[in-house]
């Protein structure tokens, strides 16, 4: 949408598919997409050795190492590997979310000859050639968190559909600032595909359900928490009382934005020893983040600064990815199947042809957040 | 006046050549004064476009959030004045910040978590200094290697796990210091990063100008051979400079780590370029021998003020970096023209 | 050495004089032997210790900080300090005052101590270097060719200073290639050859010829072997050349086979003029005419294309690439002619270098030696040979024999004469008056950027030339005409 | 004196010893040792397929490291190469993009991006030469500027779906060897000959050792510098072209960090960061060594973070050993 571009929203320009508004709930949950299930559109490895039931060696290549989020997916993978007993997973990735380096890392593991590759792509297209090469070398490829072009991998474990996340985010924000508030966004970079997709879907959903919301602007903050903090602070200072809420689009940006709000004394609840401003000035923070990073603002020292954190469970995501790959190797999960068994997670549904859906996004609140540790 | 000027004006000895007026003029156009003027112009322009930019809180925030860069730029400018460079400084700050947090969550006293990184920084500085001064490996090579070692090593050791649950009295950078109240001045409480930045800059400026070691740094950077012949120990100076750089990196790391309730135990990307850019835009010559720490600090402030201003005046973030690049270029070109003019007037 | 003695150290280029004094002042470590100061055995492991021992040294190669002020350069390493509370800090005001005093004691009043040294002329830098050594209050002052970059007037001043110091009881080691100075100043003289001690004599007991034979191992009959040549048509002609500030409305010509000497005080603009003709600092206005044709010279490349060569005054920074080999230096200005379709013809290059070494008697063990490892004089020979290799029509030489020993000097002089007799037009800038007078067919005198006098060889006497150099600029035409607007 | 000279020429032993102790030879020995160790670490390492594949991956660094050698030999540096690469990649896609504003033929878009890359380098050169801003500062500023232009022009949109024929350069092979490796080979040969055998190359050394002296020798220092910075920009454009062809998409963050990798390769190759010495052969050994370490260590089971620790250490130690030996050699002379 052109109007959105003028606000540098950081959205991509792919087609959007907003979910039903909350009022119309009930009818909406049975997603119409399921009815017209598209054909399997993933790729297949050439001459993969039959290792059904045998030990396999996997490598996990997330976008980067060194952030809490991927530490959690790695944890989940290790849990799955331990449960299964016949899977070894090592995690290796660049130290910065850089597609050039990620390709080189994958390339090396192809040469080394692993049985399977799990990845979270820094760029869906750029990573495709090297993944295709992996498939051609008889290596199973399963993505999670950030997809590649479908033909370059077999399955993608989708943590939550983009429109689902978008809905949860906007709904949570509206619950705090009302349907006529105004908000800004702190994202990683405009070129990060997942974030761009979420923002696009948020825009579509907002346009459909809450047209009165004011969309101020989106700022970039890399995956750097000090930079995120500074950018959030700048937004707070720039808009003053005109700013009602901030979205953090990454697990780095959200706690940093919460810190910015807390240090500016703009938390909505006066749990923070008298430092809270009036409800008028308060700035709500909603975003994607891991629970541990957000506890201080939900139940800890700055309790109440943040009311809802949207996220799937990244441990489960990593866990599911390993189960999916094991099932593929064992021949229990093949194109055309509509579901797959994933250990403690039970049965997971196939959507969009070749994606395994982890489930609806989870919303952490003061009530439940202390039950999670990652 | 020369580029070795510092905030302390020189004794007003009447010069034989060049009248008082030209002298006053040339003082007016030192890099420091230019940076300051640019800063003022920026504040006035952006402030009139969006008055919230000049709000006291915004300014405090800008300074507060970037003080660690200015502090690191102090050490960096000394390194560059001595005709060396340190491109590992971003990684070092990441490592020392993580070290600080690790100490804090493991039940050691808070002062240890503030002090140990500084000592560790000094040690790393000593190692760099030793490699450069005694084993004669160029500083850029040593620090290029060290950059990889620190960056990779940090992740190998921490696995990228964030540090949370920091004790509540750990956050040095969030504390305010009633430092000036005892002077009876009606100054608002100044956040400690800003206070530290100012104090360290002034100390460094005085030291660079009034200590023999400080002068020797200029000598070594200006002409190492001559410095040796004047009996200055080049090796000792290089060691000193890198140790100080390590110390300021340690202080910067503590400010960096204590700003937020989470420490992201990774290396902040591109931080070394920000710090080096601050030093060179501040008038420190990459060829050694010229520059002041005050200039470096002003440049660090200016660059962060520009970043903030771009948000305030609604420049499309897609064009952010292009605008910053142009502004750096303009500052550098202005400095160049000034120097050429000065040289021409010296000759004429 | 005894207090109040001036002890001259002589030797050919590369004899080891500079090396010896660097050992004395703690720069190099001796392989063996001992050194006594006041009868006590001393060993300096670095220059600081030597300075503390009262030894101050003026090194042959200038060692200053271009970005620092004159005052700081003088006091680097031993700045006056002042107690502030518990710490000692540099006392800037005293530094300025004392720098002025020292310069004043050298009779130098026109040097602003707060100027950056980088903006000074070579001559002025040399003065700073002297002031720097004097600031140490040394008991022993070592001077390695201090007069190499000075003009007569400065030399006279320097001698006054040296005598003054001698009266104060300072012992002075004095290195120079100008024998006249030795006889004027020194009490005793020591000669070195190939790093070996040859002998020490009272100055009053020796003659110049005797010293030369001690140094060179043979005698030199004529230091200025000027050949009579037939002067041909003008080759280089300069008309109304302007390049402010130091080249003001200059016009002159140099004819084939003629050696024109250019004399002037430090900073009179001789080098500036030469560099303007050579295109290093292109002219603002005026004409350069070569063999009757006006040429445009925008950079040294242009000048070289037209056959103008320039031997610059400072070999270290301008003349040589010191970290490169002799071969590479000699061929640098003529690489284009040594190529086959862009590739360097290595055999031809080696021949060229070998020829140069032989022609000028450069003391090197191979053309592959790094120039930085040569002694000062031999380096100078490399610069000269580099420009001779370009087979120029006009050769401009700026201080061609600075720092060159008598033997080599005679060699270079003979070469200059020979080149002239082969029809080359030569413009020779020199601060050594005997050289100018001895070698030139014609002498031009420059002052404040203008050519103020011209003497034919027979009229060029010391008095004439010096008085033209020194005369106060009082003529009415001293005011710059608006001619700069021309063009 | 003559005796030394004769001795020097007649003693083949001494000559051989000097040859052995040359910078490049020592590096080559280090490389050989590394290869042996890495081969012991994994049997997948020393295979033709793996090595050829590594050739593909080192192309971009190799292409910018070659002109970087020229620049560092003159005592300069170019930090903007990664940003130029990003800008060229974006322009290539932007001008071609069939749904974009220009929709140029792909060939034209490639040529245009190469021209712009060259121009970016020339602008660096002009600022350095004409205005006299030191290279480090100039390219630090243009590092931000060119990357910013790439971001601004792309508006964070990527361009994909190039025609199949476009991928030959980045993914195809010629005579069994990855196409881009031939490109690297050709440029290695050209730059090596230019630097070691031509007037231009000799002049670069002269400039690096003593710029003023070079100017007094009639070398057109300014022109030469503009040429090499322009060449560096051109090669960044080449790297962008090959990279886009390899990964089939454009992103504005392509090539970030490339400058440090290239500089590391050059420096590891024995080129003095202060200018005046160095060689293309050294640089080639430098980038090959870095790439093989990355690859071989990964094959031996070392993770990426561990690998960069090793590379940093190797960089310091290689220079240390080399310095030590060179000093011994020159002391022995
Ligand atoms: N840095 C150096 N390394 C090795 N040898 C050197 C070095 N400098 C000079 N030499 C050699 O040492 C010898 C003595 O040189 P020195 O500079 O002492 O001569 P000098 O007597 O001062 O000559 P000049 O009159 O030309 O200055 C020469 O043969 C020279 O080649
Ligand atoms: N009186 C002066 N005041 C300021 N600068 C001066 C003065 N004299 C000379 N200079 C500077 O010194 C430089 C050297 O002048 P130039 O070399 O042309 O003189 P010269 O006659 O060759 O003297 P020298 O013997 O020092 O080489 C000039 O470019 C000028 O910048
Ligand atoms: Mg000497
Ligand atoms: Mg001169």
Q: Could you give the count of Cα atoms lying within 13 Å of A157 in the half-sphere of its Cβ?
A: 33
pLDDT grade for C309, boundaries at 50, 70 and 90: very high
Number of Cβ atoms within 10 Å of the Cβ of C300: 25
Residue nearest to atom 25 of ligand 1 (CA): C13
pLDDT grade for C483, boundaries at 50, 70 and 90: very low
pLDDT above 90: residue C10: no
Q: How many inter-chain contacts (A to D, CB under 8 Å) are there?
A: 86
Q: Examine chains B and D and say if they touch (3+ CB pairs below 8 A).
A: yes
**Percent share of chain A, pLDDT over 90:** 46
pLDDT above 60: residue C478: no
Mean pLDDT of C144-157: 76
Q: Which of A230-239, B29-38, C149-158 has the lowest mean pLDDT?
A: C149-158
- Do C244 and B348 count as a contact with CB atoms less than 8 A apart? yes
pLDDT above 80: residue D270: yes
Q: Could you give the count of Cα atoms lying within 13 Å of D188 in the half-sphere of its Cβ?
A: 18
Beta-strand pair C35-37/C6-11: unpaired
pLDDT above 80: residue D237: yes
**Domain around B139:** 61-320+331-343
Answer whether B83 touches D (CB < 8 Å): no
**Cα–Cα–Cα angle for A204, A209, A213, rounded to 5 degrees:** 85
Render A244-267 in DSSP notation, one character per residue. Answer: -EEEE-STTHHHHHHHHHHHTT--
Largest CA distance in chain C: 77
**Percent share of chain C, pLDDT over 90:** 14
Q: How far is the CA of C374 from the centre of ligand 3 (A)?
A: 9
Question: What was the pLDDT predicted at B341?
Answer: 66
Atom of ligand 2 nearest to the CA of C149: 25
Determine the topology of domain D45-326 in CATH: ABC transporter involved in vitamin B12 uptake, BtuC (1.10.3470)
pLDDT for C271-300, tens place per residue?
Answer: 999 999 999 999 888 999 999 899 999 999
What is the average pLDDT score of chain D? 89
Name the residue with higher pLDDT: D25 or B339.
Answer: D25
3-state secondary structure chain B: CCCCCCCCCCCCCCCCCCCHHHHHHHHHCCHHHHHHHHHHHHHHHHHHHCHHHHCHHHHHHHHHHHHHHHHHHHHHHHHHHCCCCCCCHHHHHHHHHHHHHHHHHCCCCHHHHHHHHHHHHHHHHHHHHHHHHCCCCCHHHHHHHHHHHHHHHHHHHHCCCCECCCCCCCCHHHCEECCCHHHCCCCCCEEHHHHHHHHHHHHHHHHHHHCHHHHHHHHHHHCHHHHHHCCCCHHHHHHHHHHHHHHHHHHHHHHHHCCCCCECCCCCCCHHHHHHHHHHHCCCCCCCCCCCHHHHHHHHHHHHHHHHHHHHCCCCHHHHHHHHHHHHHHHHHHHHHHHHHHHHHHHC
CA distances from C314 to A241, C122, C245, C403, D313 (A): 69, 8, 20, 11, 42
Question: D120 is written with which tokens?
Answer: 């970016």
pLDDT above 60: residue A270: no
CATH of residue B281's domain is 1.10.3470
pLDDT for D120-136, tens place per residue?
Answer: 999 999 999 998 888 98
pLDDT for B147-157, tens place per residue?
Answer: 999 999 998 88
Answer whether A251 touches B (CB < 8 Å): no
Q: How far is the CA of C21 from the centre of ligand 1 (A)?
A: 11
Q: Could you give the count of Cα atoms lying within 13 Å of B295 in the half-sphere of its Cβ?
A: 31
Number of Cβ atoms within 10 Å of the Cβ of A155: 28
What is the average pLDDT score of chain C? 83
**Percent share of chain D, pLDDT over 90:** 63
pLDDT above 70: residue A274: no
pLDDT above 90: residue B116: yes
Residues C183, C212: Cα–Cα separation, whole Å: 13
Please name the residue that has the structure tokens 């703009």: A266
Question: What was the pLDDT predicted at A118?
Answer: 96
Q: Examine chains C and A and say if they touch (3+ CB pairs below 8 A).
A: no
Residues of A near D (Cβ–Cβ under 8 Å) read: 5, 10, 12-13, 65, 90-96, 98-101, 103-105, 107-109, 111-113, 123, 125-129, 189-191, 196
Residues D71, D229: Cα–Cα separation, whole Å: 7
Q: Which of A116-120, B208-212, C4-8, D33-37 has the lowest mean pLDDT?
A: C4-8
pLDDT for D173-215, tens place per residue?
Answer: 889 899 999 999 999 999 999 999 999 999 999 999 999 999 9
Question: What was the pLDDT predicted at C484?
Answer: 31
Residues D114, D232: Cα–Cα separation, whole Å: 11
Best residue among C116, C121, C399 to mutate for probing ligand 2's pocket (most ligand atoms within 8 Å of CB) is C121
Residues in D closer than 8 angstroms to A9, CB to CB, are none
Residues A95, A93: Cα–Cα separation, whole Å: 6
Residues B175, B192: Cα–Cα separation, whole Å: 6
Neighboring chains of C (3 or more beta-carbon pairs < 8 A): B, D
Best residue among C10, C11, C18 to mutate for probing ligand 1's pocket (most ligand atoms within 8 Å of CB) is C18
Most confident of A275-279, C327-331, D326-330: C327-331
Residue D96 near residue D166, CB atoms below 8 Å? no
C19 in contact with ligand 1, CB cutoff 6 A: yes
Mutation target among D128, D132, D137 for the B interface, most CBs of B within 10 A: D137
pLDDT above 60: residue A217: yes
pLDDT for D51-93, tens place per residue?
Answer: 998 999 999 999 999 999 999 999 999 999 999 999 999 999 9
C135 in contact with ligand 1, CB cutoff 6 A: no
- Indicate which ligand has the atom closest to the C-alpha of C365: 1
Does residue B258 belong to any structural domain of this protein? yes
Question: What was the pLDDT predicted at A279?
Answer: 57
Question: What was the pLDDT predicted at B249?
Answer: 97
Using DSSP, state whether C189 is helix, strand or coil: strand
Q: Which ipTM value was assigned to this complex? A: 0.86
Residues A130, A128: Cα–Cα separation, whole Å: 6
**What are residue B291's phi and psi, to 5 degrees?**
125, 165
The residues near A261 (Cβ < 8 Å, ≥ 6 apart) are A232, A236, A246, A267, A283, A285, A305
Residue D326 near residue D23, CB atoms below 8 Å? yes
Question: What was the pLDDT predicted at A280?
Answer: 65
**Cα–Cα–Cα angle for B236, B238, B241, rounded to 5 degrees:** 110
Number of Cβ atoms within 10 Å of the Cβ of B339: 17
pLDDT grade for A321, boundaries at 50, 70 and 90: very high
Residues in B closer than 8 angstroms to A248, CB to CB, are none
**Cα–Cα–Cα angle for C213, C219, C222, rounded to 5 degrees:** 135
- Indicate which ligand has the atom closest to the C-alpha of C408: 1
- Do D216 and C318 count as a contact with CB atoms less than 8 A apart? yes
- Do A123 and D171 count as a contact with CB atoms less than 8 A apart? no
- Do A301 and B261 count as a contact with CB atoms less than 8 A apart? yes
- Do B65 and A220 count as a contact with CB atoms less than 8 A apart? no
pLDDT grade for D38, boundaries at 50, 70 and 90: very high
Residues C299, C283: Cα–Cα separation, whole Å: 10
Residues D5, C366: Cα–Cα separation, whole Å: 6
Residue C180 near residue C211, CB atoms below 8 Å? no
Per the structure, how many domains does chain B have?
Answer: 1
Atom of ligand 1 nearest to the CA of C60: 27
CA distances from D325 to A313, C45, D270, D274 (A): 57, 25, 12, 19
pLDDT grade for B124, boundaries at 50, 70 and 90: very high
Q: Which of A88-97, A255-264, C109-118, C323-332 has the lowest mean pLDDT?
A: C109-118
**Cα–Cα–Cα angle for C303, C306, C308, rounded to 5 degrees:** 55
Q: How far is the CA of B217 from the centre of ligand 1 (A)?
A: 29
Which ranges of C142-245 would DSSP assign to H, the alpha helix?
152-167, 179-185, 208-216
Q: How far is the CA of D14 from the centre of ligand 1 (A)?
A: 24
- Provide the strand spans (E) within chain A: 56-61, 87-91, 116-119, 140-144, 155-158, 182-187, 214-220, 245-248, 284-288, 306-311, 339-341, 347-351, 355-357, 362-364
Question: D169 is written with which tokens?
Answer: 């350069």
Question: What was the pLDDT predicted at C163?
Answer: 85
Distance from CA of B240 to the nearest CA of C (A): 16
Answer whether D219 touches C (CB < 8 Å): yes
**What are residue C36's phi and psi, to 5 degrees?**
-120, 135
Residues B264, A229: Cα–Cα separation, whole Å: 12
Residue A294 near residue A262, CB atoms below 8 Å? no
Question: What was the pLDDT predicted at D12?
Answer: 58
Q: How many inter-chain contacts (B to D, CB under 8 Å) are there?
A: 136
Strand partners, C451: C446
Residue nearest to atom 2 of ligand 2 (CA): C267
Report C:127-156 residues touching B (Cβ under 8 A).
132
pLDDT above 60: residue B183: no
pLDDT grade for C479, boundaries at 50, 70 and 90: very low
pLDDT grade for C416, boundaries at 50, 70 and 90: confident
Question: What was the pLDDT predicted at B342?
Answer: 61
pLDDT grade for C480, boundaries at 50, 70 and 90: very low
pLDDT for C180-238, tens place per residue?
Answer: 888 888 888 888 887 788 888 888 888 888 888 887 776 666 777 777 777 888 889 99
What is the average pLDDT score of chain B? 83
Residues C189, C37: Cα–Cα separation, whole Å: 19
- Indicate which ligand has the atom closest to the C-alpha of C266: 2
- Do B160 and A219 count as a contact with CB atoms less than 8 A apart? no
pLDDT grade for A30, boundaries at 50, 70 and 90: very low
Number of Cβ atoms within 10 Å of the Cβ of C466: 17
Please name the residue that has the structure tokens 């003159």: D74
pLDDT grade for B190, boundaries at 50, 70 and 90: confident
Using DSSP, state whether D168 is helix, strand or coil: helix
pLDDT above 70: residue D296: yes
Q: Which of B24-33, B253-262, D70-79 has the lowest mean pLDDT?
A: B24-33
Name the residue with higher pLDDT: A93 or C471.
Answer: A93
pLDDT above 90: residue C447: no
Question: What was the pLDDT predicted at B9?
Answer: 33
Residue B177 near residue B190, CB atoms below 8 Å? yes
Q: Which of D6-20, D139-153, D296-310 has the lowest mean pLDDT?
A: D6-20
pLDDT above 90: residue B17: no
pLDDT grade for D332, boundaries at 50, 70 and 90: low
Does residue B68 belong to any structural domain of this protein? yes
Using DSSP, state whether C310 is helix, strand or coil: strand
Answer whether B160 touches A (CB < 8 Å): yes
pLDDT for A71-129, tens place per residue?
Answer: 889 999 999 999 999 999 999 998 888 888 899 999 999 998 899 999 999 988 899 99
Question: What was the pLDDT predicted at D87?
Answer: 97
Distance from CA of D263 to the nearest CA of C (A): 23
Number of Cβ atoms within 10 Å of the Cβ of C197: 12
C-alpha C189: how far from its chain's center?
23
What is the four-CA torsion angle of A69, A74, A75, A81, rounded to 10 degrees? Answer: 160
C376 in contact with ligand 1, CB cutoff 6 A: yes
Does residue B44 belong to any structural domain of this protein? no
C-alpha B104: how far from its chain's center?
26
- What's the count of helices (H) and strands (E) in chain C, helices before strands? 16, 22
Answer whether D248 touches A (CB < 8 Å): yes
Does residue B303 belong to any structural domain of this protein? yes
- Tallying the residues shown for chain D, one arrives at 333
Residues A24, A18: Cα–Cα separation, whole Å: 13
Atom of ligand 2 nearest to the CA of C124: 26
The residues near D184 (Cβ < 8 Å, ≥ 6 apart) are D55, D58, D59, D62, D63
């Amino acid at each position: 949408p052109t109007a959105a571009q003028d606000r540098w929203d950081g959205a991509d320009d792919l087609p959007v598919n907003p979910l039903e508004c909350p009022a119309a709930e009930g009818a909406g949950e049975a997603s119409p997409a399921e009815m017209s299930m598209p054909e399997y559109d993933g790729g297949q490895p050439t001459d993969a050795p039959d290792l059904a039931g045998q030990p396999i060696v996997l490598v996990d290549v997330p976008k980067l190492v060194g952030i809490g989020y991927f530490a959690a997916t790695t944890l989940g993978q290790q849990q799955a590997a331990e449960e299964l007993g016949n899977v070894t997973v090592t995690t290796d990735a660049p130290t910065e979310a850089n597609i050039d380096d990620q390709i080189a890392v994958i390339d090396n593991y192809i040469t080394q000859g692993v049985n399977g590759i799990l990845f979270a792509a820094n760029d869906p297209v750029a990573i495709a050639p090297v993944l295709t090469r992996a498939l051609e070398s008889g290596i199973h490829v399963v993505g999670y968190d950030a997809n590649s072009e479908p033909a370059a991998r077999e399955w993608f474990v989708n943590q939550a559909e983009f429109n689902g996340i978008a809905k949860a985010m906007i709904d949570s924000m509206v619950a705090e600032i009302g349907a006529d508030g105004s908000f800004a966004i702190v994202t990683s970079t405009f070129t990060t595909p997942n974030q761009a997709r979420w923002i696009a879907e948020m825009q579509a959903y907002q346009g459909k359900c809450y047209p009165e919301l004011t969309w101020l602007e989106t700022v970039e903050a890399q995956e750097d928490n000090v930079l995120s903090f500074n950018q959030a602070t700048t937004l707070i200072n720039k808009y003053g009382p005109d700013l009602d809420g901030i979205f953090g689009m990454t697990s780095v940006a959200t706690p940093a934005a919460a810190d910015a709000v807390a240090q500016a004394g703009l938390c909505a609840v006066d749990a923070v020893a008298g430092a809270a401003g009036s409800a008028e000035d308060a700035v709500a923070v909603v975003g994607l983040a891991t629970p541990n990073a957000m506890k201080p603002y939900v139940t800890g020292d700055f309790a109440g600064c943040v009311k809802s954190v949207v996220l799937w469970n990244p441990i489960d995501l990593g866990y599911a990815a390993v189960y999916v790959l094991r099932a593929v190797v064992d021949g229990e999960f093949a194109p055309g199947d509509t579901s797959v068994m994933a250990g403690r997670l039970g049965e997971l549904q196939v959507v969009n042809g070749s994606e395994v859906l982890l489930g609806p996004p989870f919303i952490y609140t003061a009530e439940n957040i202390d039950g999670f540790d990652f | 006046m020369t580029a070795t000027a510092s905030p302390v004006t020189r004794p007003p000895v009447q010069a034989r050549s060049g009248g008082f007026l030209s002298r006053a003029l040339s003082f007016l156009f030192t890099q420091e004064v230019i940076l300051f003027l640019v800063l003022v112009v920026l504040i006035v322009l952006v402030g009139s476009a969006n008055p919230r930019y000049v709000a006291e809180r915004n300014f405090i925030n800008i300074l507060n959030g970037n003080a660690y860069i200015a502090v690191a730029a102090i050490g960096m400018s000394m390194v560059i004045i001595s005709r060396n460079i340190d491109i590992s400084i971003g990684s070092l700050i990441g490592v020392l910040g993580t070290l600080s947090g690790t100490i804090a969550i493991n039940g050691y006293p808070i002062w240890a978590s503030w002090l140990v990184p500084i000592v560790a920084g000094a040690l790393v500085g000593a190692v760099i200094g030793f490699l450069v001064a005694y084993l004669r490996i160029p500083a850029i090579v040593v620090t290029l290697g060290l950059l990889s070692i620190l960056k990779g090593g940090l992740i190998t050791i921490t696995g990228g796990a964030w540090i949370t649950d920091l004790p509540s009295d750990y956050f040095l950078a969030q504390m305010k210091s009633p430092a000036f109240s005892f002077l009876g001045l009606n100054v608002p409480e100044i956040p400690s990063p800003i206070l530290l930045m100012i104090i360290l800059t002034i100390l460094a400026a005085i030291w660079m100008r009034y200590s023999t070691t400080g002068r020797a740094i200029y000598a070594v950077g200006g002409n190492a051979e001559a410095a040796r012949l004047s009996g200055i120990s080049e090796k000792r100076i290089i060691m000193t400079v890198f140790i100080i750089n390590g110390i300021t990196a340690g202080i910067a790391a503590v400010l960096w780590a204590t700003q937020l309730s989470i420490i992201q135990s990774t290396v902040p990307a591109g931080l070394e370029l920000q710090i080096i850019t601050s030093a060179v835009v501040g008038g420190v010559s990459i060829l050694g021998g010229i520059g002041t720490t005050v200039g470096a600090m002003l440049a660090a402030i200016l660059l962060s003020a520009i970043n903030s201003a771009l948000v305030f005046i609604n420049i499309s973030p897609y064009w952010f970096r292009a605008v910053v690049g142009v502004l750096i270029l303009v500052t550098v070109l202005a400095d160049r023209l000034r120097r050429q003019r000065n040289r021409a007037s010296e000759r004429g | 050495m005894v207090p109040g003695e001036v002890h001259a150290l002589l030797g050919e280029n590369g004899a080891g004089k500079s090396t010896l004094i660097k050992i004395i002042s703690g720069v190099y470590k001796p392989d063996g032997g001992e050194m006594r100061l006041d009868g006590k055995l001393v060993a300096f492991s670095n220059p600081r210790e030597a300075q503390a021992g009262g030894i101050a040294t003026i090194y042959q190669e200038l060692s200053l900080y271009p970005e620092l002020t004159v005052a700081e350069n003088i006091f680097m390493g031993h700045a006056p300090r002042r107690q502030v509370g518990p710490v000692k800090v540099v006392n800037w005001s005293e530094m300025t005052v004392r720098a002025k005093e020292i310069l004043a004691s050298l009779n130098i009043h026109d040097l602003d101590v707060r100027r950056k040294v980088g903006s000074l002329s070579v001559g002025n830098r040399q003065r700073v270097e002297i002031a720097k050594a004097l600031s140490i209050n040394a008991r022993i002052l070592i001077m390695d060719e201090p007069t190499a970059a000075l003009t007569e007037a400065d030399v006279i001043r320097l001698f006054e200073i040296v005598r003054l110091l001698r009266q104060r009881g300072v012992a002075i080691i004095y290195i120079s290639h100008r024998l006249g100075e030795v006889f004027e100043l020194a009490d005793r003289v020591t000669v070195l050859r190939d790093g070996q001690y040859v002998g020490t004599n009272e100055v009053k007991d020796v003659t110049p010829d005797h010293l030369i034979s001690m140094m060179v191992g043979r005698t030199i009959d004529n230091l200025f072997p000027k050949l009579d040549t037939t002067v041909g048509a003008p080759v280089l002609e300069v008309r109304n050349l302007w390049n402010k500030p130091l080249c003001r409305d200059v016009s002159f010509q140099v004819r084939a086979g003629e050696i024109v000497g250019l004399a002037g005080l430090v900073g009179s603009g001789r080098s500036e003029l030469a560099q303007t003709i050579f295109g290093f600092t292109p002219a603002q206005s005026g004409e350069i005419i070569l063999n009757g044709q006006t040429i445009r010279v925008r950079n040294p490349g242009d000048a070289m294309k037209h056959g103008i060569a320039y031997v610059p005054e400072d070999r270290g920074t301008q003349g040589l690439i010191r970290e490169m080999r002799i071969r590479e230096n000699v061929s640098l200005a003529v690489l284009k002619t040594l190529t086959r379709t862009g590739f360097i013809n290595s055999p031809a290059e080696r021949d060229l270098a070998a020829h140069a070494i032989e022609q000028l008697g450069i003391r090197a063990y191979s053309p592959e030696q790094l120039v930085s490892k040569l002694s000062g004089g031999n380096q100078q020979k490399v610069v000269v040979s580099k420009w001779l290799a370009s087979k120029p029509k006009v050769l401009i030489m700026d201080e061609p024999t600075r720092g060159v020993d008598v033997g080599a000097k005679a060699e270079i002089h003979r070469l200059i004469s020979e080149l002239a007799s082969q029809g080359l037009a030569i413009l020779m800038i020199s601060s050594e008056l005997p050289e100018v007078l001895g070698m030139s067919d014609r002498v031009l005198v420059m002052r404040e950027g203008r050519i103020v006098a011209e003497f034919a060889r027979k009229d060029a006497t010391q008095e004439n030339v010096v008085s033209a150099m020194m005369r106060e600029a009082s003529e009415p035409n001293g005011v710059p005409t608006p001619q700069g607007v021309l063009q | 004196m003559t005796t030394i000279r004769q001795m020097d020429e007649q003693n083949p032993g001494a000559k051989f010893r000097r040859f052995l102790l040359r910078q490049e030879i020592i590096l080559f020995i280090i490389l050989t040792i590394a290869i042996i160790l890495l081969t012991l670490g994994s049997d997948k390492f020393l295979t033709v397929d793996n090595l050829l594949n590594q050739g593909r991956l080192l192309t971009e660094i190799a292409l910018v490291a070659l002109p970087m050698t020229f620049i560092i030999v003159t005592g300069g540096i170019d930090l903007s190469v990664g940003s130029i690469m990003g800008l060229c990649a974006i322009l290539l896609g932007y001008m071609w993009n069939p749904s974009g504003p220009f929709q140029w033929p792909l060939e034209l878009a490639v040529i245009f991006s190469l021209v712009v890359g060259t121009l970016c380098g020339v602008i660096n050169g002009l600022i350095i030469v004409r205005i006299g801003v030191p290279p480090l500062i100039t390219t630090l500023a243009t590092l931000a500027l060119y990357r910013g232009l790439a971001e601004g022009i792309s508006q964070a949109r990527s361009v994909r779906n190039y025609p199949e024929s476009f991928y030959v350069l980045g993914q195809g092979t010629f005579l069994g060897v990855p196409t881009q490796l031939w490109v690297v080979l050709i440029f290695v040969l050209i730059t090596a000959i230019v630097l070691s055998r031509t007037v231009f190359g000799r002049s670069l050394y002269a400039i690096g050792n003593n710029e003023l002296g070079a100017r007094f020798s009639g070398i057109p220092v300014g022109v030469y510098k503009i040429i090499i910075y322009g060449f560096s920009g051109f090669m960044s454009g080449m790297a962008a072209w090959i990279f886009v062809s390899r990964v089939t998409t454009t992103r504005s963050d392509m090539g970030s960090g490339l400058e440090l990798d290239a500089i590391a390769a050059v420096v590891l190759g024995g080129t003095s960061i202060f200018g005046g010495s160095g060689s293309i052969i050294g640089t080639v050994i430098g980038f090959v060594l870095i790439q093989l370490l990355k690859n071989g260590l990964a094959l031996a089971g070392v993770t990426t973070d561990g690998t960069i620790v090793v590379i940093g250490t190797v960089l310091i130690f290689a220079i240390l050993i080399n310095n030590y030996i060179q000093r011994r050699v020159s002391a022995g002379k």
